Chain A
């Protein structure tokens, strides 16, 4: 006869269980590795195609960047995008991450595994926190592969690689910190649209592009007020970053994570989980 003692697991025990499942899934499915590959290939392709000649005219296209590290971030925080070069940098990782998190959470629902999780986990924040942490980890890993892809291809372009190393490191670390905030946003969106997989992906892509902030910047100009938003802070982590940038990103990321986690938990507690 099974013993009837009901020891309540602590918050950390519960989170450890949920995180264990999510990391096990992450490392045992090809999706994570595919997205890491995509994150490495995209900057390599952008840089690699820069110096290509037109086979008919023999002319070389005007280079998008004058410095290899512009593929990581802009020189200054540019919220107003004037051309594709202003936009195509490491922030693209947050778009890939949004799609990956949507697929990851979507599979929970599609397979029905979410029933097992919610049967044994009475506390809904376990689920949201776990997905956020795993999503943030995935995007941070994508930042690393993006960097490797950019460095690898950048060395062959022949353009300048001069950089203030400390600013570059702070910019990359700041963007990795921003992964947490972005992951919480995507988890939240997937909780809202949990019954509609397609809508989840589209909404994650839409918010991931930062189009709302870019639009706001087009109206209000390059304002540091935009740093209160995830995309704003992600742009703020540029090649002229300093310790203030790191702190701004940290605060923005943590505050939005708290907001989205609390809001997501409330939604899941008040509504049917599937």
Chain B
């Protein structure tokens, strides 16, 4: 069974399609990294799943049921754009309201549990408006975690956080995804962070799904390359192009793509009187893969 199954979903605002015939499949238990540039339709898709927006067309199924099913929706936790808390109420009061809303029985215990997960147990009496951005995002996650959601939707939870905030948030997300077993749909611009936790990816562009893949598929598609520097870069570049198919000059280095053997390259250059001053093996990560994919789409 899939946690989320979207077929031909469309949503327009004043004639402009924010989401255009989008298809998406998120298996149960997956941590789905939803990637796309600003305005590509990530937030709109998430709002459609949460029932905040009415689609122009298409179908959304959550755990095999229509997304308007009250039983499914009560098991969806979401942090979309901001935490959605009352600024003059305390963290505790905000969580209590959500616990009441969900009809939870052991409210106080449940609030303590989620506050511990997001490491906010010492700040429960703080007014929401007094919290820092990082704290607000964590409270938003705590709100979404109340009532043991089966599907967690997190829209840019890392955005705007400082390095320490990002580290804490990553640890929290890893903890949630590993220990609480819910399906997670997480969108983010910070692909390096996403790469550390996602098991599946969906790349959206101009409201359309460009590609969906698993983390292992990404691993398979990730290209390796060797970066090197020599004294005479131009001559070495010409020489390497004669032997290897994909050689480029990038960021002050000569890059030989789809080659793993550094020794072979060094030997070849040495034979032709080129001394290698620097050499390292690299692998294209999610970010580079995404940029490459987007530039290919741009060209086409």
Contacts and interface: CB of A to CB of B under 8 A. Distances in A.
Interface of A: 1-4, 6-9, 13-14, 16-18, 20-21, 24-25, 28-29, 107, 111-123, 269-274
A2 B181 contact: yes
Contacts of A117: 101
B211 interface: no
A107 B84 CA distance: 10
Contact of B52 (A7, A16, A272): A272
Contacts of A118: 50-52
Contact of A113 (B50, B53, B85, B96): B85
8 contacts: A9-B74, A18-B101, A21-B97, A28-B93, A115-B84, A272-B52, A272-B54, A273-B52
B54 A8 contact: no
B238 interface: no
Nearest to B100: A20
B53 A272 contact: yes
A20 B83 CA distance: 20
A6 B69 contact: yes
Q: Identify whether the interface residues of A are mostly helix, strand, loop, or mixed.
A: helix
A269 B51 CA distance: 9
Contacts of A113: 84-86, 97
Contacts, number: 122
B189 interface: no
Contacts of A114: 84
Contacts of A273: 51-53
B78 interface: yes
B86 A25 contact: yes
A21 B53 CA distance: 23
Interface of B: 1, 28-29, 50-54, 63, 65, 67-78, 80-89, 93, 96-98, 100-103, 143, 148-150, 180-182
Contacts of B102: 17, 120
A237 B54 CA distance: 42
A3 B88 CA distance: 35
A114 B68 CA distance: 17
Contacts of B103: 9, 13, 16-17, 20
A6 B76 CA distance: 11
A120 B82 contact: no
A264 to B, nearest CB: 15
A17 B93 contact: no
A27 to B, nearest CB: 11
Count chain A CB atoms within 10 A of each CB in B52, B93, B100 and give the residue with the most. Answer: B100
A64 B101 CA distance: 48
Contact of A1 (B81, B88, B181): B181
Q: Identify whether the interface residues of B are mostly helix, strand, loop, or mixed.
A: loop
A25 to B, nearest CB: 7
Contacts of A7: 71
Count chain A CB atoms within 10 A of each CB in B78, B81, B84, B181 and give the residue with the most. Answer: B84
Q: Nearest 9 pairs between A and B by C-beta?
A: A1-B181, A8-B71, A112-B84, A20-B100, A6-B71, A122-B73, A17-B103, A119-B50, A272-B53
Given A13-B103, A14-B70, A115 B78 contact: yes
B173 to A, nearest CB: 16
A11 B86 CA distance: 26
Nearest to B84: A112
A166 B28 CA distance: 64
Nearest to A17: B103
B88 A29 contact: yes
Nearest to B68: A122
Contacts of B77: 119
Contact of A119 (B51, B54, B89): B51
Contacts of A8: 69-71
B117 to A, nearest CB: 13
Contacts of A6: 63, 65, 69, 71-72, 74-75, 150
Given A2-B180, A4-B63, A6-B65, A119 B97 contact: no
Nearest to A112: B84
B98 A116 contact: yes
Contacts of B87: 111
Nearest to B90: A28
A28 B89 contact: yes
Count chain B CB atoms within 10 A of each CB in A14, A20, A29 and give the residue with the most. Answer: A20
A116 B84 contact: yes
A9 B80 contact: no
Contacts of B73: 119-122
B141 to A, nearest CB: 13
Given A114-B84, A116-B98, A117-B101, A122 B54 contact: no
A72 to B, nearest CB: 35
